[in-house]
């Protein structure tokens, strides 16, 4: 019983701290996500896909390895339901229906906002959400999302509790579908036989690839946007681009930029380095003015953006060096 209690409170604690400490969180506003406190742009979508796959296979695997143990040992909703029910059954409350009802409502009012906050924090900055709640920023959509989510969890805690687990929980239904004679017995042995072994190998492969991907990923992204393209003046052809660097680290960084295959006789205005603040973006314009007298050709310019750690990202632009008269 002690092992079960420790596991319940450990998983419950994880539910609250995972988004707060950026262990895993998807920020749809700033188009980035966090895995093990490391920030990634949505350009690194393969890392997000791997993380989600691992989460999905974790839930599937738990059902195959340990049967319905998740509900009793790990489910945060079940943990809340069990201990609130136990509290309400103590002698003094059990004998006083009015007092029991008041305590029940009070506990639901206390815990529903906390759970609602944690749930929204998985998809929105916890710092920004807290600020909007404290200031009662009713103009923010996240404020109303929080109010609605809190209302849903109030109903689940106060009214539904175990009825939700028995009748509506999708994962509970999945556990029932995946259960067999081995998973009914549960245990570590299920991880090394039959379908359980296949899931173990898949999980090991996914985790290994994720760790490798995180360790080799860059802490910044580079975007190149077209602006003026082939605008003809009396003597020149003009191309302009916007170069945006997003710094995903928690420290300011200076990014060095060099240009390959750029003719010395072109008139250009391009940055050689850009300072970007932590978890922010910086944008600079690239200007290429090409003399129309130069014989026509397509020239590929390679732009090398290098961080202070030596990581490098390449981007290319193709320019036509003359236009027909």
Say what the pLDDT of residue 84 is.
Answer: 87
20 and 91 housed in the same domain: yes
234 and 87 housed in the same domain: no
Say what the pLDDT of residue 325 is.
Answer: 44
46 and 188 housed in the same domain: yes
172 and 286 housed in the same domain: no
Number of domains into which the chain is organized: 2
Say what the pLDDT of residue 184 is.
Answer: 58
Say what the pLDDT of residue 323 is.
Answer: 53
44 and 145 housed in the same domain: yes
Q: Would you say 249 and 219 are in contact if contact means Cβ atoms under 8 Å apart? A: yes
Say what the pLDDT of residue 258 is.
Answer: 94
Domain residues for the domain of 313 are: 220-320
7 and 102 housed in the same domain: yes
192 and 309 housed in the same domain: no
Order of strands across the sheet with 32-35?
Answer: 24-27, 32-35, 38-41
Q: What is the mean pLDDT of each run of 10 residues along the chain (325 residues)?
A: 84 92 90 88 86 89 80 84 85 82 89 94 93 93 94 88 79 71 68 85 93 86 90 87 91 93 88 92 92 75 92 88 56
In a domain, 145, yes or no: yes
> Distance between CA 64 and CA 181 in Å, rounded?
10
In a domain, 325, yes or no: no
In a domain, 233, yes or no: yes
In a domain, 72, yes or no: yes
Given 175, 200, 216, the domain boundary residue is: 216
Say what the pLDDT of residue 123 is.
Answer: 94
Model confidence, pTM: 0.76
188 and 248 housed in the same domain: no
Say what the pLDDT of residue 131 is.
Answer: 94
DSSP code for 161: T
Given 192, 216, 240, the domain boundary residue is: 216
Say what the pLDDT of residue 314 is.
Answer: 93
Q: Would you say 208 and 200 are in contact if contact means Cβ atoms under 8 Å apart? A: no
Using CA of residue 306, residue 307, residue 311, residue 314, what is the dihedral sign? negative
Given 172, 188, 216, the domain boundary residue is: 216
Instruction: Please name which of 215, 214, 206 lies closest in space to residue 34, comparing C-alpha atoms.
Output: 214
């Amino acid at each position: 019983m002690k092992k079960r209690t420790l596991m319940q409170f450990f998983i419950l604690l994880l539910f609250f701290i995972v988004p707060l400490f950026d262990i895993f969180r998807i920020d749809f506003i700033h188009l980035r996500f966090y895995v093990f406190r490391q920030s990634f742009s949505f350009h690194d979508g393969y890392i997000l896909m791997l993380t989600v796959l691992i989460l999905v296979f974790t839930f599937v695997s738990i059902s195959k390895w340990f049967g319905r143990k998740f509900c009793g040992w790990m489910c945060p909703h079940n943990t809340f339901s069990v201990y609130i029910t136990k509290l309400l059954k103590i002698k003094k409350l059990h004998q006083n229906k009015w007092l029991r009802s008041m305590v029940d409502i009070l506990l639901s009012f206390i815990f529903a906002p906390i759970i609602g906050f944690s749930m929204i924090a998985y998809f929105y900055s916890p710092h920004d959400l807290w600020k909007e709640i404290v200031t009662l920023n009713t103009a923010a959509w996240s404020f109303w999302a929080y109010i609605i989510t809190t209302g849903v969890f109030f109903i689940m805690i106060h009214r539904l509790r175990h009825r939700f687990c028995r009748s509506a929980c999708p994962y509970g239904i999945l556990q029932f579908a995946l259960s067999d004679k081995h998973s009914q017995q549960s245990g570590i042995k299920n991880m090394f036989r039959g379908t359980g072994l296949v899931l173990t190998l898949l999980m090991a492969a996914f985790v290994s690839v994720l760790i490798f991907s995180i360790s080799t990923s860059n802490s910044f992204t580079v975007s190149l946007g077209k602006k003026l393209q082939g605008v003809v003046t009396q003597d020149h052809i003009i191309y302009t681009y916007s170069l945006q660097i997003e710094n995903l680290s928690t420290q300011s960084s200076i990014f060095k930029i060099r240009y390959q295959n750029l003719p010395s006789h072109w008139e250009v205005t391009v940055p050689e380095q850009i300072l970007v603040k932590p978890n922010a973006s910086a944008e600079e314009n690239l200007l290429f003015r090409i003399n129309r007298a130069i014989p026509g050709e397509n020239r590929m310019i390679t732009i090398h953006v290098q961080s202070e750690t030596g990581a490098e990202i390449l981007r290319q632009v193709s320019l036509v060096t003359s236009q027909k008269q």
